Amino acid sequence: MLDFTEECLELADGKIKLPKGKNRPLRIQVYKNQFIEKWFAQAHPITPGLWFGWMVAYGLYVAVTRFEWLGVLAFLGGVVITSLIEYCLHRFAFHFIPKSKAGRLNHFLLHGYHHDFPNDPMRLVLPPIGIWPVAVVVSTLYFFAFGEWFWPLLGGTSLGYILYDWLHYYTHHFNPKGGPGKWLKRYHMLHHFDSPHHRFGITSPIWDLAFGTYMPLSESWRAMQKKEAAEAAEA
C-alpha cells in the first residue's frame, strides 16, 4: 500500500529534470495506492485547525483555570518552542543533503517535494502520514517531561504548529499588498528561489537572526555567490 510511483522515485533520485516557470507541473502523484495518496499523503489547508484546534482550546483552558498567569506564560512558551522546532527541522533535517538512494528518497518526501512543487495546495500543510506520528511522539515526550504542565505547553505548541502551517500556506497562495504579510511572503519566496541556505524561518525571522542565517530582503545569496566566483576566477 505504501509503494511509490515511478515518477516519484525518479524525481527523488535526480533522474528527472523539471522544467522551469509556467511549464512546471503543479504536482505529481507520490503513492501508487489512491486511497493512501488522497487521504493520508495530502491535506486540505484547513485540516491542522480541525485536528489540533481542540488541543489549543483545552490547553488554554487548563492554563487559565489551573495555573492562572503562569499557565498563560507556559502556553506562550509552547508557541515559542514550536517556532524553534520549526527552524531546527527546516534547517538541519529538511535541508540535509543525503548521499544514499534511500536517503534521497526520504529527503524528497520530507521536503524536496515541496521545493520541486512549491504551490501544490494539497501538500503545503503536513498530511496525516507526516504530522500524526510526530504529534504522538511530541505528546508522549511532553507528558513525561512536563507533568502537570503538560496541557498548557501542548496547547501552546499546537497553536504554534497551526500558525506555522497556515502562515506557510499564506505565503504561497495569498498576495498581501503590504505589512508583515507581504514581508513574510517575500522572505519565504527568497528562501525558495534565491537563498536555500538562509531564511529558514517561516512564522518569523527570529531564529534566523539568533543563529546567523538571516538575510535582509535587499540581499541576494545567489548574486553574492556569482560575485565571489567571478572574483576567484580573476585572482
Task: Give a yes or no: residue 12 inside a domain.
Answer: yes
Task: Give a yes or no: residue 80 inside a domain.
Answer: yes
Report CA torsion sign: 183, 185, 187, 193: negative
Q: What's the longest Cα–Cα distance across the chain?
A: 68
Task: Give a yes or no: residue 167 inside a domain.
Answer: yes
Count of structural domains, the chain: 1
* Range 227-234 average pLDDT: 87
* Range 105-133 average pLDDT: 95
Nearest-angstrom CA–CA distance, 172 and 138: 27
Task: Give a yes or no: residue 88 inside a domain.
Answer: yes
Task: Tell me the pLDDT tens digit for each residue of 164-198.
Answer: 999 999 999 999 999 999 999 999 999 999 999 99
Task: Give a yes or no: residue 201 inside a domain.
Answer: no
Task: Give a yes or no: residue 228 inside a domain.
Answer: no
140 band by pLDDT with thresholds 50, 70 and 90: very high
Compute the mean pLDDT over every residue in the chain, rounded to the nearest whole number: 95
Strand partners, 31: 4
Task: Give a yes or no: residue 182 inside a domain.
Answer: no
The residue segments making up the domain with residue 20 are 6-174
Task: Give a yes or no: residue 37 inside a domain.
Answer: yes
